[in-house]
Chains A and B, each alone.
Chain A
Amino acid sequence: MPSLRALRKRIGSVRNTRQITKAMKMVAAAKMRRAQEAILKARPYANGLSTVLLDIAARVNTEAHPLLARREPKKVELVVMTSDRGLCGSFNTNIVRRAEQFLFEKGGEFDRISLSCIGRKGRDHFRRKTVDIRREYIGVFNNITFSSAAEIAQELARDFVAQDLDAIWLLYNEFKSVIQQRVALYPLLPMRIPEETGTAAAGVDFVFEPDMATILDAILPKYLGTEIYRAMLESAASEHGARMTAMDNATKAAGEMIDSLTLKYNKARQAAITKELMEIVTGAEAIKA
């Protein structure tokens, strides 16, 4: 049986921990609400842009623009989006596990797989492995801006156009709901163009103004930037959601721990008192006798 003093100390420290997790939960909740609003607002534009672009891409030749090129995937890059901070449950673990699965499954298929890490946690994990990390972006989640997303997209696009990469996959946490995230993995380049399923205008030639090359030049980088931007917003909202849940669980667990420790403490205290009383009574009896 631990001493009363040790128990009291233990209860105090767990109580402190609970206070911290509770505060973190509240901060995460506030941040999540903002992030959630941002992603809900950004989705229609991102979806609209990708619908429009796929509409065009399905109609034009793959040689119309270097970003539309399709090559045998030999040099592949996986963009891994994790958070910069920890204490958010299985948020990063899920991503890292999926990334390793990807590397394991596809490792033999391609000549070269490299990583781009957005977020510190993924970088830290893969730095310890024998994986080629070509790029890392740390701290972008502090303030998510379109220009930082566009910059990442631009660097990726440059390598793709230079034929240094044949395919780029994007891996991130998608925001489903406050308590639910889904790991999303999809090819950013080359674009996954839906099968020609006879849309109303299929076959009909589009008229482009001013001309197709100008339009593609403008819209393709914009599309890539928007996709990265959207993924970043999704990931940020998911991160705060995951942290909120994790911290809520931690707060509850700490509460339970305090209860059980308090019970133990009280039992120990009672036992001590009883023992003392017994000693006094025994002492008194001895004097009487």
Chain B
Amino acid sequence: MAEKIELTIVAPDKTLFKGVVEEIYAPGLLGEFGVLEGHSPFFCETDPGEVRYKAGGADKYVAVAEGFAEVAADKVTLLCEAAERPEDIDIDLANQYLKKAEEKLSGMTLFDPEYRFRELRVKRARNRLNVAKRASARA
């Protein structure tokens, strides 16, 4: 079984991961999708969530913010607004961020021009916290 996909995860401030993996799961806008070698070309927007990939038989996790994913037969490129490994997330700080983000969102209505932006910030913050918590639960 020599299934190999070249995965690249980049955020505006860094290249988080670049390497060969066996499988990838990522949060698409319409639900999570998995990619194995030979996937048909596919392009989607992604939501804040958890990316999981298997490299050398071991599962790895990454918390990502919203972005785009391009999938080709042997290549996956994830372009996210932010990407972090769970071990780099400070749970207490993440909690504070979430509280701040929720405060800013509360009181806004759907018609607010900033609503979607603020909502995404909350989603991001909640996701970071969840990913970090899940990682520490696994450990």
Q: A interface vs B, CB < 8 Å? A: 41-42, 44-45, 48-49, 51-52, 55-56, 146, 200-201, 204-210, 214-215, 218-219, 226
Residue of B nearest to A51 (CB): B77
Q: When the two chains form their complex, are residues A55 and B73 in contact, meaning their CB atoms are under 8 A apart?
A: no
Assembled-state Cα–Cα distance A226/B11 (Å): 12
A208 touching B43 by the CB < 8 A rule?
yes
- Decide: A204 and B14 in contact? CB cutoff 8 A: no
Chain B residues contacting A48 (CB-CB under 8 Å) are: 8, 10, 77, 79
Interface size class of B (residues with CB under 8 A): 20 to 34
Q: B1 interface residue, CB < 8 Å from A?
A: no
Contacts of B79 in A (CB 8 A): 45, 48-49, 52
Chain A to chain B contacts (Cβ below 8 Å), 15 pairs: A41-B13, A44-B15, A45-B11, A48-B10, A48-B77, A48-B79, A52-B43, A204-B40, A206-B41, A207-B43, A208-B42, A209-B30, A209-B45, A210-B29, A215-B68
Interfacial chain B residues near A55, Cβ < 8 Å? 70
With A48-B79, A204-B40: A214-B72 Cβ-Cβ less than 8 Å: no
Residue contact B68 to A209, C-beta cutoff 8 Å: no
B residues in contact with A215, CB < 8 Å: 43-45, 68
Chain B residue with minimal CB distance to A202? B41
Partner of B44, one of A42, A49, A208: A208
- Cβ-closest chain A residue relative to B11: A45
A-B contact count (CB 8 A): 69
Are B12 and A219 neighbours in the complex by a CB distance under 8 Å? no
A225 to B137, CA, bound (A): 39
Q: Which 9 A-B pairs have the closest CB atoms?
A: A209-B44, A44-B15, A207-B42, A45-B12, A52-B70, A201-B41, A45-B10, A48-B10, A206-B41
> Within the assembled complex, what's the spacing in Å between the Cα atoms of A206 and B40?
8
Which residues on the B side are within 8 Å of A49 (C-beta)? 68, 79
Residues of B within 8 A of A146 (CB): 12
Alpha-carbon separation in the docked complex, A45 to B82 (Å):
11
Asked if B86 lies at the interface with its beta carbon under 8 angstroms from chain A, I say: no
CB-defined contacts of A207 to chain B, threshold 8 Å: 40-43
Does B49 belong to the interface (CB within 8 Å)?
Answer: no
Q: Decide yes or no whether B28 CB sits under 8 A from chain A.
A: yes
Q: Is A52 within 8 A of B12, CB to CB?
A: no
Interface centre among A44, A56, A208 (most CB of B within 10 A): A44
Across-interface contacts of A45 in B (CB, < 8 A)? 10-13, 15, 79
